[in-house]
Amino acid sequence: MRLRSLLHPIALTVSILSLFLLQASSIAAEGVKITQQADSLRIEINGKLFTQYRYAGAPHVYFYPVIGPSDLPITRDFPMKDVAGEAQDHKHHRSLWYSHGDVNGVDFWAESSESGRIAHDRFLEIKSSKESGLIRSTNNWVALDGTIVCTDERLFRVYNRPSNERLFDFEVTLKAGDQPVVLGDTKEGSMAFRLAESMRLKPNEFNVGKPTGHIVQNTGARDGETWGKRAAWTDYSGLVDGKVVGAAIFDHPDNPRHPTWWHVRDYGLFAANPFGVHHFETKPEGTGDLTIPAGESITFLYRIYMHEGDEKQGDVAKHYKSYISNH
């Protein structure tokens, strides 16, 4: 009897401790958690991987993978990973990224032997919380000869949303040093996705005969009409593992040259580009140049909204209105 009386409070204590640890684990899994690893930041929402911010091992920084609504991958795997059924073109289309093809004459968009690189400098802030997660970082845009052409400061804020959607803000401030910086007039840029192959407007060789994706802009332009057009937002949706999902990029009204032009292709490239006017509107070369005077900076604000269904089912217009009224 004495032994049983001693074991009872011990068992009770163990039970209470186990319950406490279970609750603590549940609390830890809630919200947005950002964990630093050797070459990336792992970003989880309510215990599930959303994306990784990769700041080493490539000519520019980028996010991969990007896990969208219902735990479905929203971006292509190549060139980070070879996966059956994917076209292996444009190796510089790394999932989700920001870059530009002509900065003081240096190409930071491509990954050729002549291209520059966008090199991670440092993190200013990394913050996890129940409501959102935050990354603030700086990068150097470095030419082949080692010259730093310009620098940037980026803010990435991802929100804790239900599993049927993903929402984050991306803000980038481009800074000139002691020389002016000219963001050149080219279609090759800038705030960009390379979407999952099955979402493409024009199917690749592995998906011929299967349902295709669709592109819609707030102006009403659709599919092949959208390239090079100006719009406040563009949405690209299609099938992933048998379910329709979509991604929209919102161009903030405070951005220079709002509404922006769109470098959006039938093969899954999807980019907001306020610089490529001569390509988009067949105007003289240089028409779209934008100069940052020495010592000054320019900021671009974007929101990315990923949703189930097409742009109507995802209420994209409603979410854009909420973005511009609350930001």
Distances from the Cα of 73 to the Cαs of 17, 152, 196, 243, in angstroms?
38, 28, 7, 11
Listed residue (91, 105, 98, 93) closest to 147, CA to CA: 105
Which domains does the chain carry?
A: 31-326 (2.70.98)
At which residue do the structure tokens 């040093």 appear? 177
CA gap 96, 74 in Å, rounded: 10
Average pLDDT per run of 10 along the chain, which is 327 residues long?
47 43 51 97 98 97 97 98 95 98 98 97 98 98 98 98 97 98 98 98 96 98 98 98 97 98 98 97 97 98 98 98 91
At which residue do the structure tokens 């609750």 appear? 23
Q: By CB neighbour count within 10 A (0-12 exposed, 13-18 middle, 19+ buried), where does 8 fall?
A: exposed
On whether the CB atoms of residues 52 and 61 are closer than 8 A, the answer is no
DSSP 147: -
What's the token pair of residue 200? 């493409």
pLDDT score of 22:
42
Q: By CB neighbour count within 10 A (0-12 exposed, 13-18 middle, 19+ buried), where does 2 fall?
A: exposed
H or E element, residue 98: strand 96-100
What is the per-residue burial (b if ≥16 Cβ within 10 Å, else e) of 139-163? Answer: bbbbbeeeeebbbbbbbbbbbebee
CA gap 238, 225 in Å, rounded: 17
The pTM (predicted TM-score) of the whole model is 0.91
pLDDT score of 268:
98
pLDDT score of 326:
85
